[in-house]
Amino acid sequence: MDTAETSEPLAPTDPQGPQRRRWRLRTAIISTATALALVLGGAAAWAADRFLIPKVEISDVAQYEASQTATGANVDATDDDTSVTVTQETRGTGEDTITLTIADVQLGDATDLRSAFAHNQFGENITQTTSEMAEANDAVFAVNGDYYGFRSTGIVIRNGVAYRDEPAREGLAMYTDGRVEVYDETSTSADELVAAGVWNTLSFGPAIVEDGQAVDGIEDVEIDTNFGNHSIQGQQPRTAIGVIDENHLVFVVVDGRDPGTSRGATLTELADIMLELGAETAYNLDGGGSSTLYSDGGVVNRPSNGGERGTSDILYVAG
């Protein structure tokens, strides 16, 4: 059987063909690498801008507070009845060891517990160590705060002055009359809180003790949705503030990430510690490498970074 055959004419031979193909391949590789570098460079630039580059909103906090009504800058000297007692405990053995530093703080006046910002400035990504901030403010006692400068949300009131009004989460409000309350930031405003007599707010969390009971579900809480800070679960270095009674506070710093010395604590363990110490209310502050307690001229605990990590703010009692 005959079959019909068709054929395409052959293309003329191109002696430069292999070189052209190699050139096109190199061009494609270079273009892909350039695009990848631009993407990575853009991501690095975004990350640096978001997490590293300082953004100063108020360059002189002391002056700013002095210009406000009911300012922290105008408070009297620390009340003679204010006292701070710092102790340390080690619990467990071997890999299960937990080391706690506990500060029992009796305030003569609620305003004796003050806040300070890194480098006396307010904004994002402005950091300084807890001890440096403590020394700059003549503190006899200090702990790291809520690292407000890591984020752009949360209500920030310090020393009776409103700095930020971006409600986002469960906060802690400390009043000039000695009351301390867990509150929903989204249900109020910074101005309303200041008008009601709030002296300091903290925006981290979660609350771990309320009405003398450990809060349910604290192991599942996400305090943020931004990169690198989604959850705070597991055995971690911790800082927390507890309320025993009016003007009677307890601060606990748990060392961690150091097997055999201190493994850190879960939020449930932290709540149980606060209950043992008599706290009716307790609230989790920034932890991890930030967890630092300063007393009488030096850092008392062992920060997990092998040394202090810069943070944006402290709570302190002046000498």
Q: Which of 19-33, 36-50, 111-125 has the highest mean pLDDT?
A: 111-125
For residue 57, give both structure tokens.
Answer: 């909103």
pTM, entire model: 0.84
Query: What are the residues whose beta carbons fall under 8 Å from the beta carbon of 252, sequence distance 6 or more?
Result: 100, 101, 102, 103, 238, 239, 240, 242, 270, 273, 274, 277
Predicted local distance difference test score (pLDDT) of residue 65: 94
DSSP character for 145?
-
Q: Where are the domains of the chain?
A: 18-53, 58-318
Residues 86-136 pLDDT 10s: 999 999 999 999 999 999 999 999 999 999 999 999 999 999 999 999 999
- Is 251 in contact with 242 (CB distance < 8 Å)? yes
Predicted local distance difference test score (pLDDT) of residue 226: 54
CA distance 117 to 312: 6
CA angle 157, 232, 294 (to 5 degrees): 55
Query: 165 burial class (0-12, 13-18, 19+ CB within 10 angstroms)?
Result: middle
